[in-house]
Amino acid sequence: MPRTKTAHAISDHIKNQLICVVTKKRYLDRKEELSCYSYDAFWEESIPDAVIFPRTADEVSRILKIASRHKIPVTGRGAGTSVCGAPIPLYHGIVLCFSKMDKIIEINTRDRYIIVQPGVINMDIQKALTPFGFFYPPDPGSMATSTIGGNIAQNAGGPRCLKYGVTMDYILGMEVVLATGEIVNFGSKNIKDVTGYKLSSLFCGSEGTLGLVTQAILKVVPMPETIKTLMVSFKDLDDTARAVSDIIGSGILPAAMELMDKFTLNAIEDSFDLGLDREAEGSLLIEIDGVKEACEKEMGKIIKKLTENNAGKIQESSTETDRQRLWTARRSAYGVFAKLAPDIISEDVTVPVSKVPEMIRKIKRITKSYGLRAGVLAHAGDGNMHPMIPANKNDKEEWTRVEKAFDEIFEAAAHLGGTLSGEHGIGLAKTRYLPLVMNQDTINLMTRIKQVIDPDNILNPGKFV
């Protein structure tokens, strides 16, 4: 499929057919409107020919039938918060934006599920479940804006995923529209279901390249009785990272264990004045949850491990406001980095937890050797690290250094038995690195799967296969 834009990619005749499905109000093709759907939080852009807002699976199916007949690329879009270029319509065509499919269809705490449309914002699921004493664990940093369709397509994770697992672990069932327009259903409302191939595992994380999710049945869990949160600082980043692998290695599984280095702590403190320790080389935000007595016992064990690793100041949150203050610090990291330069590159590598100290040392050494400013933010308990580099993509010389640094960072992660992404996905950002962690036969198998399910390659073409 050519990437260059062809004139009249969507003829008036095809446009009229599409408008018949969704009405004029939900069909955009004015240049100034289209440009809003040409990018995400990555740094590439590509303008679609049309943006369509479906309201039902039937509309999605009819649009895909038209697109399929005319071989028009179709790229799904939630909130556009992807950091790997996944929703960028590389080959133009149609962007299907799911923001109008934003209904919570059913909450059933007795059977432990919630049924939602793909455009529902992650945070709205959390808010809807709170009065029932339940929650939905996957909590990406973007949870206030990102949609469940995008979360499923990226298999999103977040701080709580250390204990609770990622999006895939919570999908009981899905309704998906294929490139042909066929509407298929995987799974069911049952917590246990091993009927047939586990197709939800294949589609979850496929970045909209195999089908478009129009409904999801998600597992929900009861809220824990107690939550305890602490923030601890260290004079040495190695000690910080070692404390993480020591705690995990001793059999304790916190709900979250987030690491921030000095650069990140100072960037946050500059913006928010939250009382973070500016002198610390590293800090950990640790949260445990469960039954009160068990939490107290676990917290005691955690503090012992922290002390053994030369921990400095430990702040335990005593109130919910205090806990929110600590989380504000962690959750604002991306925003404060964005203030430091015109662009921010937030990458995502994962290594086995025992290798976290070594990987952090490597990230620091590599970025320093290229003369780059860099912070490290990590869901450290599961080995998932976000090296963050503020830079300016219009400065060609600096940008080349950024790219070279990331080449080395990915190589280092692969060398340590790690992988290219723990949660952000592959998109446009990392396709070229796949051979570092997969052999050619495996890449060929993924390509063949794509060819079987989407033979004309109309769904989000140009992404990872």
Q: How many residues bind ligand FAD (CB under 6 A)?
A: 36
| Cα 179 to Cα 60, 97, 183, 203, 459, distances in angstroms | 10, 16, 10, 13, 7
Q: Which two tokens stand for residue 196?
A: 């047939």
Q: Is 267 in the site for ligand FAD (CB under 6 A)?
A: no
Q: Is 424 in the site for ligand FAD (CB under 6 A)?
A: yes
Rule CB under 6 A: choose which of 48, 54, 73, 76 binds ligand FAD.
76
Rule CB under 6 A: choose which of 10, 79, 114, 256 binds ligand FAD.
79
User: Closest distance between ligand FAD and the C-beta of residue 424, in Å?
Assistant: 5
What angle is formed at CA 157 by the lines to CA 152 and CA 162, rounded to 5 degrees?
140
User: Closest distance between ligand FAD and the C-beta of residue 167, in Å?
Assistant: 8
The runs of H, that is alpha helices, within 311-374 are 320-331, 333-338, 356-369
Q: Which two tokens stand for residue 298?
A: 């676990």
Q: Is 146 in the site for ligand FAD (CB under 6 A)?
A: yes
Q: Is 81 in the site for ligand FAD (CB under 6 A)?
A: yes
Rule CB under 6 A: choose which of 67, 83, 416, 420 binds ligand FAD.
83
List the beta strands (DSSP E) in 340-461: 343-346, 349-350, 375-379, 384-391
Q: Is 461 in the site for ligand FAD (CB under 6 A)?
A: no
Pairing mode of beta strands 282-290, 226-234: antiparallel
Q: Is 113 in the site for ligand FAD (CB under 6 A)?
A: no
Three-state secondary structure call for residue 458: coil
The number of CA neighbours under 13 Å toward the Cβ of 224 is 18
**Shortest Cβ contact with ligand FAD: which residue?**
150
Stretch touching ligand FAD by CB under 6 A, among 66-74, 136-144, 180-188, 430-438: 136-144
Query: What is the DSSP annotation of 159-177?
Result: TTHHHH--GGGGEEEEEEE
Report the alpha-carbon distance of residue 440 to residue 223 in Å, rounded.
44
Site residues for ligand FAD, 36-65, by CB under 6 A, read 40-41
User: Closest distance between ligand FAD and the C-beta of residue 313, in Å?
Assistant: 26
Q: Is 151 in the site for ligand FAD (CB under 6 A)?
A: yes
Cβ closer to ligand FAD: 154 or 229?
154
The region, left, alpha or beta by phi > 0 then psi within -120 to 50, assigned to residue 13 is alpha
Report the alpha-carbon distance of residue 98 to residue 72 in Å, rounded.
18
Q: Is 367 in the site for ligand FAD (CB under 6 A)?
A: no
Stretch touching ligand FAD by CB under 6 A, among 12-20, 147-155, 243-251, 364-372: 147-155
Q: Is 78 in the site for ligand FAD (CB under 6 A)?
A: yes
DSSP one-letter code for 459: B
Rule CB under 6 A: choose which of 150, 173, 418, 462 binds ligand FAD.
150
83, 424 in Cβ contact below 8 A? yes
Report the alpha-carbon distance of residue 41 to residue 85 in Å, rounded.
7
Q: Is 77 in the site for ligand FAD (CB under 6 A)?
A: yes
Q: Is 254 in the site for ligand FAD (CB under 6 A)?
A: no
Give CA 455 to chain center in angstroms: 27
User: Closest distance between ligand FAD and the C-beta of residue 236, in Å?
Assistant: 26
Report the alpha-carbon distance of residue 390 to residue 290 in Å, rounded.
38
Cβ closer to ligand FAD: 333 or 359?
333
Site residues for ligand FAD, 114-133, by CB under 6 A, read 118
Stretch touching ligand FAD by CB under 6 A, among 77-85, 244-252, 439-447, 450-458: 77-85
Rule CB under 6 A: choose which of 49, 239, 382, 423 binds ligand FAD.
423
User: Closest distance between ligand FAD and the C-beta of residue 15, in Å?
Assistant: 22
Q: Is 311 in the site for ligand FAD (CB under 6 A)?
A: no
Stretch touching ligand FAD by CB under 6 A, among 4-12, 182-190, 208-216, 221-229: 208-216
Three-state secondary structure call for residue 53: coil
Stretch touching ligand FAD by CB under 6 A, among 79-87, 179-187, 188-196, 238-246: 79-87
Q: Could you tell me which residues come within 8 angstroms of residue 34 by beta carbon, excluding any fewer than 6 positions away?
A: 28, 47, 48, 49, 50, 51
In terms of Cα–Cα distance, which of 250, 251, 243, 321 is closest to 285? 243
Place of tokens 């050494």: 365
Q: Could you tell me which residues come within 8 angstroms of residue 192 by beta carbon, excluding any fewer than 6 positions away?
A: none
Three-state secondary structure call for residue 116: strand
Cβ closer to ligand FAD: 93 or 140?
140
Q: Which residues bind ligand FAD (CB under 6 A)?
A: 40-41, 75-83, 86-87, 98, 118, 140-142, 146-147, 149-151, 153-154, 156-158, 207-208, 212-213, 334, 423-424, 460
